[in-house]
Amino acid sequence: MGKKVAVIAFSPVNGMGLFQYLEAFFENQIQYKTFAIDSVKEIKTNSGISITLDDVIANLKGHESEYDALVFSCGDAMISFKDNADKPYYKDMFEVLKNFNDQGKLIAGHCAAAVIFEKAGITTGKKVAVHPYGKPAIQNGTATDDKFVVDHNLYTAQCEGAIWQLMPDLLAALK
């Protein structure tokens, strides 16, 4: 059996991005569990579709060792992130990201994921693919114009439209 992945998602999440990961994991028999970066399991997609995830980020904290990888699914929540960065579930997200990185585990994401990775302190000395609007936020890592980048344990795609280009490397690492 392949590796086990924790998939974390903002609300609202970019459904196209999230469902690309979940469908690829399902089709490739890669175990995963979904976690809302929120205090409730019910989230929405950018287009307003309600979905219920398996759990919340607070319940992933302290259980990072049970997973081989973490995938961050971005969304429109990034627009209001700075106004809500003090929420407990965002603090939990940063702690979880740091713990995964400290354990040398694979961490993947698209769009503004690299900005979140930067804020979590895990991009130092690494190249990342990031949405063009997020490039100025990358100070410790190196923001690229590449559609996707794999650097050490970070797997990043510039946007949801580039996830398919990242996916072969991501799936190979998870099998």
User: DSSP for 95-152?
Assistant: HHHHHHHHTT-EEEEETTHHHHHHHTT--TT-EEE--GGGGGG-SSSEEE--SEEEET
State residue 21's pLDDT score: 98
Phi, psi of 36 (to 5 degrees): -80, 135
Tens-place pLDDT, residues 40-51:
999 999 999 999
Among the listed residues 50, 71, 59, 33, the one whose alpha carbon sits nearest the alpha carbon of residue 173: 71
pLDDT of the residue at 1:
57
Tallying the residues shown for the chain, one arrives at 175
C-alpha–C-alpha distance, residues 129 and 10, integer Å: 19
Q: Note the pLDDT of residue 85.
A: 84
- Quote the CA–CA distance of 53 and 133 in Å, as a whole number: 28
pTM of the model: 0.96
Residue 171 CA to residue 31 CA, distance in Å, equals 12
Residues forming a β-bridge with 154: 107, 151
Task: Report the pLDDT value the prediction gives residue 78, as an integer from 0 to 100.
Answer: 74
Cis upstream peptide for 12 (omega within 30°): yes
User: How far apart (Å, rounded) are the C-alpha atoms in residues 108 and 100?
Assistant: 11
> How many Å apart are CA 135 and CA 92, to the nearest integer?
24
Position 14 scores a pLDDT of 92
Q: Are strands 31-36 and 55-56 parallel, antiparallel or unpaired?
A: parallel
Name the 3-class secondary structure at 78: helix
Per the prediction, the chain carries an average pLDDT of: 95
Decide which of 174 and 81 is more confident. Answer: 174
Over the stretch 68-126, which tens digit does the pLDDT of each residue have? 999 999 887 777 777 888 999 999 999 999 999 999 999 999 999 999 999 999 999 99
User: What are 9-44's pLDDT values in tens digits?
Assistant: 999 999 999 999 999 999 999 999 999 999 999 999
153, 106 in Cβ contact below 8 A?
yes
Quick: pLDDT tens for 118-163. Answer: 999 999 999 999 999 999 999 999 999 999 999 999 999 999 999 9
